[in-house]
């Protein structure tokens, strides 16, 4: 009698569990966005946030302008000296302005928990990371490029060098954002990672600086500078393809 | 759950966690089935959050594996994340965005609410925000809202979630009594649908009417200290 009852009970339980299981399978839906949609979603979000924190856009740009305008005042207005050092000044200022703005890339997202949510989303992390880096470049890199020719006038940059200046900045500033993102991702979990970040990132920026200034100087002599430009382009494409993966790996370590 | 015919939704084998040279838990085995609600208990610093982070795949355990549907979560990351909703200590709410934008982003990131037209989508999100009592705050920037309201924005995701596994770290923090009651109803519905919930809280879940709560008690680290 009792064993019969137990068997019945067992059967009931099994049916119940089956029901539960069926319902669980109803949960399994495909929630994946297309890569493009995921990219645009994060890009739009980051740009919206930047538009509401205008100082994020203005600060690096202001730094860039101030540093460059101070040089003619400090060195003196001699055209020759200024035009000789102009490529270096513009590029060093662009590099430091980018470094100044890097912290924002993941820091606030890490502090308020939205970074965790991004890592836990069903979208591939490298797409989200790429969108964030692209947004960072639009916010800091692009304004620098637009300001650069005006400031170059201030430094009496050789007329033949403008094309080279714009091209190197156009190819080079995305590399600054991409490489910088790796450093930020590695240091985002550390409370005061500012100094460590510059130590990590600045050595990676040196090749860009060397080839970019060399291209601009070569252009001033009226010689072809496609060699240096090709190297910067190579750096751009390799960091574009590899950096997002490095960043997502680094973020996983930082949030561990 | 005595029968082994149904595999657990999420399980962990031989989990060991060491933080700051302290052993938090050792050789922990967990199996959580559809329909389970599991409360992780322990005093402050006993490793509750660490356990939840390991189960969600955010942290790596010192030793041991976490399995989803009997597969290592590292090998089926995207599939696992489609079935997971994790809410941590931090609400994941952006101060510079409005409540509505925050919720929209969080849902869209997890692939919910994408197919509808923009207007439908907005209405839908307003309705969801109304469910967590944020009706008049949709358009206010989150930075102008209180801690409890931030949490409500994060919790609003639960109402739209299609994931069976919910991992919630202190979901009741900064939530008022009515809110807790609403959440409790939501939890019941979720379990009845065959989901599972793993949560930490200092609330007594028995007293609020969730009777069939399983418990995992973490006290290893605390004992070794004393």
N-term to C-term CA, chain A: 56
- Model confidence at A93, in pLDDT bands (50, 70, 90)? very high
B10, B109, B139, best to mutate vs chain A, most A CBs in 10 Å: B109
Longest dimension (CA), chain A: 109
Burial class (CB in 10 A: 0-12, 13-18, 19+), A142: middle
How close B92 comes to chain A (CA, Å)?
4
Which residues in chain A are closer than 8 Å to B110, comparing Cβ atoms? 31, 121-122
| Interface contact A121, partner B, CB < 8 A | yes
Which residues in chain A are closer than 8 Å to B162, comparing Cβ atoms? 27, 29, 31
| Interface contact A249, partner B, CB < 8 A | no
- Residue written as tokens 């992390």? A125
Closest CB from B6, B9, B162 relative to A17 = B6
**Interface contact flag, A120 B112, Cβ < 8 Å:** no
How far is CA B206 from its chain centroid? 19
How far is CA B160 from its chain centroid? 14
- Model confidence at B204, in pLDDT bands (50, 70, 90)? confident
Q: What gap in Å lies between CA B199 and CA B168, rounded to an integer?
A: 5
The per-residue pLDDT for range B101-121, each reduced to its tens digit, is 888 888 888 887 655 567 777
The share of chain B scoring above pLDDT 90, in percent, equals 4
> How many cross-chain Cβ pairs, A to B, lie less than 8 Å apart?
121
Give yes or no for residue A2 having a pLDDT over 70.
no
DSSP states of A119-165:
HTSSS-HHHHHHHHHHHHIIIIIHHHHHHHHHHHHHTT--GGGHHHH
Give yes or no for residue B44 having a pLDDT over 80.
yes
Q: What gap in Å lies between CA B96 and CA B126, rounded to an integer?
A: 19
The pLDDT value given to residue B209: 60
The per-residue pLDDT for range B165-203, each reduced to its tens digit, is 999 998 888 888 888 888 888 888 888 888 899 988 877
pLDDT mean over A184-200 = 88
**Interface contact flag, B34 A24, Cβ < 8 Å:** yes
- Partnered with residue B38 across adjacent β-strands are B198, B214
| Interface contact A28, partner B, CB < 8 A | yes
Q: Name the pairing type of β-strands B165-169 and B63-68.
A: unpaired
Radius of gyration of chain A measured on its C-alpha atoms = 26
Which CATH number is B1-83+164-226's, of 3.30.300.30, 3.40.50.300, 3.30.70.2750, 3.40.1640.10?
3.40.50.300
| Interface contact A54, partner B, CB < 8 A | no
N-term to C-term CA, chain B: 35
Closest CB from A26, A49, A119 relative to B94 = A49
Q: Which residue has the higher pLDDT, B217 or A30?
A: B217
DSSP states of chain B:
----SSPPSEEEEEEEEEETTEEEEEEEEEEE-TT-EEEEE--TTSSHHHHHHHHHTSS--SEEEEEETTEEGGGSHHHHHHTEEEE-SS----TTSBHHHHHHHHHHHTT-S-SS-HHHHHHHHHHHHHHTT-GGGTTSBGGGS-HHHHHHHHHHHHHH---SEEEEESTTTT--HHHHHHHHHHHHHHHHTT-EEEEE-SS-TTTTT-TTEEEEE--HHHHHH-
**Interface contact flag, A20 B194, Cβ < 8 Å:** yes
Interface ipTM > 0.90:
no
Residues of B in CB contact (< 8 Å) with A are 3, 5-6, 9, 34-35, 56-60, 78-79, 81-84, 86, 88-97, 101, 105-106, 108-112, 114, 141, 162-164, 193-195
- Model confidence at B2, in pLDDT bands (50, 70, 90)? very low
| Interface contact A254, partner B, CB < 8 A | no
How close A129 comes to chain B (CA, Å)?
13
Burial class (CB in 10 A: 0-12, 13-18, 19+), A16: exposed
pTM summary value: 0.87
Give yes or no for residue A26 having a pLDDT over 70.
no
A16, A31, A131, A252, best to mutate vs chain B, most B CBs in 10 Å: A31
The pLDDT value given to residue B207: 58
Mean pLDDT check: name the lowest of A1-15, A41-55, B165-179.
A1-15
Q: Name the pairing type of β-strands B196-200 and B37-41.
A: parallel
Which residues in chain A are closer than 8 Å to B86, comparing Cβ atoms? 116-117, 120
**Interface contact flag, A14 B194, Cβ < 8 Å:** no
DSSP states of B6-34:
SPPSEEEEEEEEEETTEEEEEEEEEEE-T
Burial class (CB in 10 A: 0-12, 13-18, 19+), A4: exposed
Look over chain A and give the mean of its residue pLDDT values, rounded to a whole number.
87
The pLDDT value given to residue A10: 54
Which residues in chain A are closer than 8 Å to B114, comparing Cβ atoms? 33, 37
- Model confidence at A66, in pLDDT bands (50, 70, 90)? very high
How close A58 comes to chain B (CA, Å)?
17
pLDDT mean over A99-112 = 89
Nearest chain A residue (CA) to B101: A45
B96, B150, B155, B191, best to mutate vs chain A, most A CBs in 10 Å: B96
**Interface contact flag, A17 B3, Cβ < 8 Å:** yes
Which residues in chain B are closer than 8 Å to A111, comparing Cβ atoms? 90
Residue (of B13, B8, B14) closest to B70 by Cα position: B8
How close B148 comes to chain A (CA, Å)?
14
Domain ranges of chain B: 1-83+164-226, 94-162
Burial class (CB in 10 A: 0-12, 13-18, 19+), A21: middle
The per-residue pLDDT for range A132-172, each reduced to its tens digit, is 999 999 999 999 999 999 999 999 999 999 999 999 999 99
């Amino acid at each position: 009698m009792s064993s019969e009852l137990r068997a019945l009970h067992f059967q009931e339980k099994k049916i119940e569990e089956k029901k539960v299981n069926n319902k669980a399978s109803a949960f399994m839906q495909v929630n994946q966005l297309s890569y493009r949609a995921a990219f645009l979603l994060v890009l739009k979000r980051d740009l919206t946030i930047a538009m509401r924190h205008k100082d994020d856009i203005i600060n690096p740009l202001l730094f860039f302008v101030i540093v460059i305008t101070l040089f003619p005042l400090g060195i003196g207005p001699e055209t020759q000296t200024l035009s000789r050092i102009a490529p270096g000044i513009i590029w060093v200022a662009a590099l430091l302005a980018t470094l100044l703005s890097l912290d924002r890339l993941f820091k606030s997202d890490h502090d308020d928990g939205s970074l965790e949510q991004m890592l836990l989303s069903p979208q591939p992390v490298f797409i989200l990371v790429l969108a964030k880096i692209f947004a960072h470049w639009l916010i800091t890199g692009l304004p620098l490029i637009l300001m650069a020719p005006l400031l170059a006038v201030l430094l009496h940059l050789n007329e033949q060098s403008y094309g080279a200046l714009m091209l190197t900045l156009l190819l080079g500033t995305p590399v600054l954002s991409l490489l910088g993102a790796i450093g930020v991702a590695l240091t985002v979990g550390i409370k005061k990672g500012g100094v460590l970040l510059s130590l990590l990132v600045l050595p990676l920026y040196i090749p860009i600086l060397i080839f970019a200034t060399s291209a601009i100087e070569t252009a001033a002599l009226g010689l072809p500078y496609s060699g240096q430009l090709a190297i910067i382009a190579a750096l751009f494409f390799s960091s574009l393809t590899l950096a997002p993966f490095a960043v997502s790996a680094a973020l996983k370590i930082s949030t561990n | 759950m005595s029968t082994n015919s149904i595999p657990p939704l999420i399980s962990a084998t031989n989990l060991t966690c060491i933080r700051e040279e302290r052993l938090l838990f050792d050789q922990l085995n967990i199996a959580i089935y559809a329909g389970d609600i599991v409360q992780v208990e322990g005093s402050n610093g006993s490793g509750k959050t660490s356990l939840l982070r390991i189960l969600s795949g955010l942290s790596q355990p010192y030793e041991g594996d976490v399995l989803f549907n009997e597969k290592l979560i590292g090998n089926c990351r995207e599939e696992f994340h489609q079935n997971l909703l994790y809410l941590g200590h931090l609400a994941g709410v952006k101060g510079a965005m409005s409540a509505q934008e925050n919720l929209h982003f969080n849902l869209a990131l997890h692939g919910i609410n994408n197919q509808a037209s923009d207007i439908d989508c907005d209405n839908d999100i307003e309705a969801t925000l109304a469910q967590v009592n944020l009706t008049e705050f949709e358009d206010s920037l989150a930075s102008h809202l209180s801690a409890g309201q931030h949490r409500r924005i994060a919790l609003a995701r639960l109402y739209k979630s299609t994931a069976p596994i919910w991992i919630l770290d202190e979901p009741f923090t900064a939530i008022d009594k009515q809110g807790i009651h609403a959440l409790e109803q939501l939890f019941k519905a979720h379990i009845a649908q065959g989901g599972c919930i793993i949560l930490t809280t200092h609330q007594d879940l028995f007293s609020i009417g969730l009777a069939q709560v399983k418990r995992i008690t973490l006290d290893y680290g605390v004992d070794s200290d004393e």
